[in-house]
Structures are given as structure tokens and as C-alpha cells.
Amino acid sequence: RGPRRCVRCRQPAVVELPGQRTAFCPPCYLHHVRQKVARTMAEGHMLRRGERAVVAVSGGKDSLCLWDVLATAAEADATDEAPPLLEAPPAGVYLDLGIGEYSARSRETVERFAEARGLPLHVVAVAEELGAGIPEAARSGARSACGVCGLSKRHLLNRFALAEGYDVVLTGHNLDDEAAVLLGNVLQWDLEQLRRQRPVLEGRPGLVRRAKPLVRTTEWETAAYCVVAGIDYVVEECPMAEGNRHLVYKDLLARLEDRAPGIRSAFHRGFLRRLQPLLEDQLGEQSLAGLQPCARCGAPTTGEVCAFCRVAERLAARREAGDGAEPLSAGA
Ligand code: Q46
Ligand code: ZN
């Protein structure tokens, strides 16, 4: 048996997809990922013609892969097989989380990527908006680092997109992430989180649409894309991730996938087809009805003051009281 051949052009293959009987040469592999993303976006109605999108970039493989795919698609000529996603290469927005060296390296990586391709990049510093970077914010109270980080990302990306007039924020969540979040939500039977776990969260007054074009693309595929496309990305994990349950779920699913190739995708796809629509029917209206504008910032929230503003107020109060040095709350 000779060397494996690319399934598209019959040249020698360099990328063999685990669990799938396909292999590609470098250009056809990039084409394959771009096609998959284009299809996911079209089927999910993630972007409508003429809309402005911004890509949330972290410096990791997923978000840089996504940004590259979208920038390339916008430049592809109209006869290319991939349907055009955007009229112009999209801007990126980088959220500086204030996590020491890790954030500094991530920012440099994103800036280099943007500069080399002539893509517009915005930077939002969490410390400026929240009053402290993620590590300090986590030390100040009831939420874990990843808890404050997640809510700050959602809040600040939305605020940025609203202020700049973007129609949609695109994020680099991949299939491995989505399946791990799904497993976590199922283990807790968190029905409200399950209802909200969709590739597209439609916009409404005060909330910009959010979409995840990589929901069908695995982490392995985005890493391979970056290697083949020559994209330099931050390989190290965020130092605050330690002890994060998400990583445990991800690891469990990766081990399952080794034994039963395709199971992760079947798990996630089955949920989106079978269970999520039922939850939306049952719980959708009810959860929309409970939203009102935050008394401080106006963002839609279920309470009087949104979670982001509550953390910011807590930080400000501590600073006023002059105690910034409380130990990390265990297991928070
Ligand atoms: S960046 Fe933020 Fe992640 Fe770091 S603090 Fe946790 S949530 S692990 S994607
Ligand atoms: Zn608020």
C-alpha cells in the first residue's frame, strides 16, 4: 500500500483526520476547514448579508484559526467554491484579562497576527473596565477566576460590540469545548444553561448576537489548521485554569473519543437536534420575560444590578476600605 493520498486532489496527504476516513494535502486541508466553517455559519444563520462581524481573539489556536478562515474567505474570489462569508475581512477584539505574563504573550501574538495580515484589531483591558484584572478580581470575592473571567468576557464583548455597532460577535469555541460544557450541564441537570447552549444566541435589545462558527470543528482540527497555515499561536494554557472542571470533562470526553471515534460529535449534535429545541419551547419565553436593564450599566439582567457591575462595586468597595490582600477563597 503506497502513501495515503489526498481525498480531494490525490496528491500525497499530510493531514489524516482521526476517526474519519479522510486525509488531505495541505491546501485541501485548509479548504476543508474553511468549507466546514462556511457551512456551519450558513446553516446556523450566523451572519446575514451586509452585517458587520467582530471576532473575539485570545491568541490561542481556535480564535486565530477562525479569524484566518474568515479573513481568507472575505478575500477569496467569487468563483471560489466556498461561499463568501463577509464582504470585508473582519476586525478582531482582544480582551486583556490582566493575567501577568500569559496575557502579555497572548496580546503580542494577536497583535503580530493582525499586523502581518493588515487586519484591524481592538484591545479592551478588563482592568480598566472592572477595576482589576482577573486574578485580583478572583481574590476579592465569591467567584472563581474562571467565573469572573467568563462573565467579564460576555459583558465586555457585548458592550464593545454595541458601542461599535457590530451585528454579531464570533467566538472560537470548538466542538471539544462545547461537548465538555454540555457534559457539565447534563451532570448538573442545569436546564437553563442547557437551553442557552446553542451555536447562535440571537440578539435582542441591549444584546448583540453571539455565534460559534467552530462548533463542528475539533481542537485537533484547529491546531492542525494553524500548523498547516503557519499561524503562530499561544500553546500554553491559562495559568488560572488549574482545577477547572471543564478540563476534567474535556479529558473524559477525549478518552471516550479514543475508544469510540465520533462519540463526542454525536453527543453534541444529538443534543442540538433533539433536546435543545424542546428546552427552548418550554423555557425560552419564561426566561426572556425576566430581563430588565441593569440599574448601573443598562445591560439586560435578571436582577436589579448585573453580575459584572456587582463584581466591580465589590472591588471598588474593597479598594476604598484599603484591603486588597485577602487570601483566595478556597474552592470558590
Ligand atoms: S482564560 Fe479565563 Fe479561561 Fe483563564 S481565567 Fe479561566 S476562563 S482558564 S478560557
Ligand atoms: Zn451592569
Look over the chain and give the mean of its residue pLDDT values, rounded to a whole number.
91
Which residue owns the Cα nearest ligand 1 atom 8?
241
Confidence of residue 119 (pLDDT cuts 50, 70, 90): very high
C-alpha to C-alpha distance for 166 and 53, rounded to whole angstroms: 6
> Contact at 8 Å (CB) between 97 and 123?
no
Q: Tell the burial category of 49 from Cβ atoms under 10 Å away from its Cβ (0-12, 13-18, 19+).
A: exposed
Tens of pLDDT along 225-238? 999 999 999 999 89
Q: Calculate mean pLDDT across residues 72-78.
A: 69
Q: How far is the CA of 248 from the centre of ligand 2 (A)?
A: 32
Q: What is the ipTM of this complex?
A: 0.98
pLDDT of residue 73: 81
Query: How many Cα neighbours within 13 Å face the side chain of 4?
Result: 13
Q: How far is the CA of 15 from the centre of ligand 2 (A)?
A: 46
Confidence of residue 324 (pLDDT cuts 50, 70, 90): low
Q: Calculate mean pLDDT across residues 277-300.
A: 88
In the chain, where do the E strands start and end? 15-16, 23-24, 53-57, 91-96, 121-125, 168-170, 200-201, 209-211, 292-293, 300-301
User: Over 60: is that where the pLDDT of 302 sits?
Assistant: yes
pLDDT of residue 323: 61
- Of the chain, the end-to-end C-alpha distance in Å amounts to 56
Q: Kindly report the pTM of this predicted structure.
A: 0.92
pLDDT of residue 320: 87
Q: Which ligand is nearest to the CA of 98?
A: 1
Q: How far is the CA of 306 from the centre of ligand 2 (A)?
A: 4
User: Over 80: is that where the pLDDT of 326 sits?
Assistant: no
Residues whose CB is less than 8 angstroms from the CB of residue 30 and which lie 6 or more positions away in sequence, other chains included: 72, 225, 228, 229
C-alpha to C-alpha distance for 23 and 4, rounded to whole angstroms: 7
Which residue owns the Cα nearest ligand 1 atom 6?
146
- Which cell numbers in the block locate residue 220? 485537533
Radius of gyration of the chain from its Cα atoms, rounded to whole angstroms: 21
> Contact at 8 Å (CB) between 160 and 124?
yes
Which fold is adopted by the domain 29-235+244-285? Answer: Rossmann fold (3.40.50)
Q: Tell the burial category of 281 from Cβ atoms under 10 Å away from its Cβ (0-12, 13-18, 19+).
A: exposed
β-pairing, 91-96 with 209-211?
Answer: unpaired
Q: DSSP secondary structure string, 162-191?
A: HHHT-SEEE----HHHHHHHHHHHHHHT-H
Residues with CB under 6 A from ligand 1: 97, 134, 145-146, 149-150, 238, 240-241, 244
Q: How far is the CA of 22 from the centre of ligand 1 (A)?
A: 33
C-alpha to C-alpha distance for 117 and 115, rounded to whole angstroms: 5
Q: Map residue 293 onto helix, strand or coil.
A: strand
C-alpha to C-alpha distance for 201 and 287, rounded to whole angstroms: 14
Q: Tell the burial category of 26 from Cβ atoms under 10 Å away from its Cβ (0-12, 13-18, 19+).
A: middle
Helices 219-229 and 175-188: crossing angle, nearest 10°? 160
- Which cell numbers in the block locate residue 23? 486525509
Q: Which one, of 58, 77, 74, lies nearest residue 233 by Cα? A: 58
User: Over 80: is that where the pLDDT of 252 sits?
Assistant: yes
Which residue owns the Cα nearest ligand 1 atom 1?
238
C-alpha to C-alpha distance for 113 and 214, rounded to whole angstroms: 19
Confidence of residue 330 (pLDDT cuts 50, 70, 90): very low
pLDDT of residue 328: 41
Q: Which one, of 138, 151, 103, lies nearest residue 123 by Cα? A: 103
Q: Calculate mean pLDDT across residues 26-52.
A: 93
Q: Which one, of 147, 172, 189, lies nearest residue 311 by Cα? A: 147
